[in-house]
């Protein structure tokens, strides 16, 4: 019982800081320790948003690259119908590229169709 009483008696002293020595005074940054930057949350959110936008742009261009490669392969294999489909997908995606329009026109020409 006496032990419990002494622990309970020390709690108010500990809360007021009497039971322990005072913390050491701040002397500045220690040698050999680099100061770390603490960016505020809005700055980190803007950085994350920028990464999403940049990576999102690459994600949109990936199918276009695949369609261009498949369109060119189909054209070389004289599968002009397939080539037209792939080139048209690129144009429908909003890509403005003169080479794609030229290839689409050539594929339509080979099919004897007006594009």
Q: What is the C-alpha to C-alpha distance for residues 115 and 108, in angstroms, rounded to an integer? A: 6
Q: pLDDT, tens digit, for every residue of 61-76?
A: 678 889 999 999 999 9
Tell me the domain boundaries of the chain. 59-115
CA atoms of 79 and 84, how far apart (whole Å): 9
Contacts of 68 (CB under 8 A, 6+ apart): 86, 87, 90, 100
Residue 6 is predicted with a pLDDT of 47
Distance CA 89, CA 64 (A): 8
What is the model's pTM?
Answer: 0.48
Q: In CATH, what class is 59-115?
A: mainly alpha
């Amino acid at each position: 019982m006496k032990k419990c009483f002494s622990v309970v008696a020390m709690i108010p002293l500990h809360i007021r800081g009497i039971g322990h020595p005072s913390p050491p005074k701040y002397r500045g940054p220690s040698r050999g320790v680099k100061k770390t930057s603490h960016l505020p949350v809005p700055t980190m959110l803007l950085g994350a948003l920028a990464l999403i936008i940049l990576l999102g742009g690459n994600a949109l261009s990936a199918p276009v690259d695949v369609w261009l490669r498949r369109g060119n392969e189909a054209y070389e294999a004289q599968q002009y119908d397939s080539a037209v489909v792939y080139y048209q997908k690129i144009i429908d995606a909003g890509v403005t590229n003169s080479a794609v329009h030229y290839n689409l026109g050539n594929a339509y020409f080979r099919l004897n169709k007006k594009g």
